Amino acid sequence: MPTTIDREAWSAAAVGAVPAVLAGFLGRKRAATILLGLPVGIVAFFRDPDRRVDATAVDEDTVLAPADGKVMHAGPGQPGVAPPPTDQGDWQQVSIFLSVFDVHINRAPYGGRIRSVTHRPGRWLAAYKFESATENERSDIVVEREVGGRTRTIVFRQIVGAVARRVVTRVQAGDDVATGERIGLMKFGSRMDVFVPPDVELTVAKGDRTVAGETVIGRWTR
């Protein structure tokens, strides 16, 4: 499928090209050639491939992976990490770790109306550490959808890591999003958490690899 480059790439690549330019001015052609690998790598990091969900609608019971990466946790919401319980019960949680080699474009795991987007400043601990979920900079996004006369709610969270230092969230409260729609990105290695109610059956396990907008991570059972 076609791959484009996200617009965030160009300013970062320009900064990354400075060492190569300086080496060129100093006449160090070999060093300049080697250093050109940095901006090229930065541009590659911001690749934005199309996925099947971009051409095919997703049914109302399916929850998709919001990010490429490796599942670190799939099960009951972790104490201190999951949002407070609701009248639907305790949350279930899927946490996905993104390495610097993964695509970092984030997608909505479930379609509906954005109820809120909350950005919280914080630290830059390694995203695979438990503490990163509560102490790192992050954005919490709450989505609601009416199905069969009931309101379904999920929460998903963009979390920066030791290398990723910025969350880019391109949706706001009141926006309508489709399942699998692009909603932003995180720069250079990070984590995404998805919280779903107990009537969603999780379909991934710790250690699984996910593909944003393609891997099914859960299904509503009622």
> Of residues 95, 132, 139, 190, which has the active-site annotation?
190
What is the total count of domains within the chain?
2
pLDDT in tens, 187-202: 766 889 999 999 999 9
pLDDT in tens, 77-119: 999 899 988 877 899 999 999 988 899 899 999 999 999 999 8
128: its two tokens: 């695979």
116 is catalytic: no
pLDDT in tens, 209-222: 999 999 999 999 98
pLDDT level of residue 49 (50, 70, 90 thresholds): very high
**CATH code for the domain in which residue 64 is found:** 2.70.70
Task: Note the pTM of the prediction, 2 decimals.
Answer: 0.88
pLDDT in tens, 144-191: 999 999 999 999 999 886 555 578 899 999 999 999 999 998 876 688
Is the pLDDT at 58 greater than 80? The verdict is yes
- Judgement on whether residues 75 and 180 belong to the same structural domain of the protein: yes
- Judgement on whether residues 100 and 149 belong to the same structural domain of the protein: yes
- Judgement on whether residues 131 and 165 belong to the same structural domain of the protein: yes
Cα–Cα distance, 217 to 160 (Å, whole number): 21
- Judgement on whether residues 80 and 142 belong to the same structural domain of the protein: yes
- Judgement on whether residues 31 and 98 belong to the same structural domain of the protein: no
- Judgement on whether residues 67 and 155 belong to the same structural domain of the protein: yes
Give the range of the structural domain holding residue 213, as residue numbers without chain letter: 58-220
Tell me the β-bridge partners of 176.
113
- Judgement on whether residues 198 and 141 belong to the same structural domain of the protein: yes
Is residue 215 within 8 Å of 64, Cβ to Cβ? yes
131: its two tokens: 């503490």
- Judgement on whether residues 193 and 99 belong to the same structural domain of the protein: yes
- Judgement on whether residues 72 and 128 belong to the same structural domain of the protein: yes
- Judgement on whether residues 45 and 62 belong to the same structural domain of the protein: no
- DSSP H helical segments within the chain, as ranges? 9-16, 18-25, 29-35, 37-45, 132-135
* Mean pLDDT, the chain, whole residue set: 89
Is residue 94 within 8 Å of 70, Cβ to Cβ? no
